[in-house]
Amino acid sequence: MKTYKLNLLAICTVVLLFMACKKDKSGHEALAEGRVTFNLPASTDVVASALDIKTTTLVSTEMKAVLEGAASSDVHYVTFTTDTNKIAEYRTKYGSSARLLPTSSYLFYKSTVAIPAGTNISEAAVLNLSFQTALKAHTAYVLPLAIASVDGQVQDPKTRRVVYYVFNTGDAVYVDHTGYTLIATASSTNGANVASRAVDGNNLGTYWLSNITQSLPQWLSIDFGREIKFSGLDYFFPTAVNYATLGGNTTSVKLETSSDNITWADKGTYAVDIRNTERKQTLNLPSLTTARYLRFTILAAAPYSGYSVGFVGEIVMRN
């Protein structure tokens, strides 16, 4: 008799649990695939924006989902994802030169969002972009996005809607010298540390050094091979020189520009302090300048082991 009562109790418990689960399941609205989509016009599959690649800043892009039809009485959860395989389709439709946005340039800060009960529009999903300075200038970078799942139900990759988020870059932080050879000359040189080492692309490793038997000021002149527009420059100091113990760090420079290497325009005198982790000083000109030649004159520097000399690791022109 005791065994019979226990079995009856177990059966009743199972029935009650089954009824409760059935009630919960029937009480939550199941959404048909495709009913949740991007909160954009049906004809829109491209969202384009400009992206500044001169500086590295955190840029956030938002996207929302929409529940088509009547609002639900339940909350629903939507997860966005990338669909990088769709870049081929974008190139076919909109331009073969488009580039896929590299994974190093973006991260989903918030990919899963809720459509609250009683509403049709979701919270905003957030995609963060960074490392912009690593991107190429005047290029369309594309990131295809899709809705991966709704309430945990995976959406069919073959039929789900894809929206292309396009980021159009402007000028890069530095002037592009592709196709041109920069030629540097100097007022003096010391040993193998010739003027060309200040424009060889090795910002901190190689350098120009003025003759240790001649005092400052000493100058370095650069021929860009054609007239360029620039807003200023970055001056780098070589890592081989331990300014903390040896000195040699530049403290004052004069900038001049020319179109013919004969007549020079004074662009100002600037205080310099390269005692930072990047060993770099940015010098911004008063206005955007067009010139073929730049003359960089080191007016003053800390004594280098007792000598009055100038070092230039690299000079790079800024857009």
Summarize pLDDT for 55-96 with one digit per residue, the tens: 888 999 999 999 999 999 999 999 999 999 999 999 999 999
Domains of the chain: 34-171 (2.60.40.1740), 183-318 (2.60.120.260)
pLDDT band at 219 (very low <50, low <70, confident <90, very high): very high
Return the pLDDT at 29: 78
Return the pLDDT at 55: 85
pLDDT band at 21 (very low <50, low <70, confident <90, very high): very low
Q: Answer with the residue of higher pLDDT: 22 or 54.
A: 54
pLDDT band at 23 (very low <50, low <70, confident <90, very high): very low
pLDDT at 25 exceeding the cut of 60: no
pLDDT band at 247 (very low <50, low <70, confident <90, very high): very high
Average pLDDT, the chain: 92
pLDDT at 27 exceeding the cut of 80: no
pLDDT at 15 exceeding the cut of 80: no
Q: Answer with the residue of higher pLDDT: 192 or 22.
A: 192
Q: What whole-number distance in Å separates Cα of residue 253 and Cα of residue 37?
A: 58
**pTM summary value:** 0.73
Mean pLDDT calculated for residue range 265-271: 98
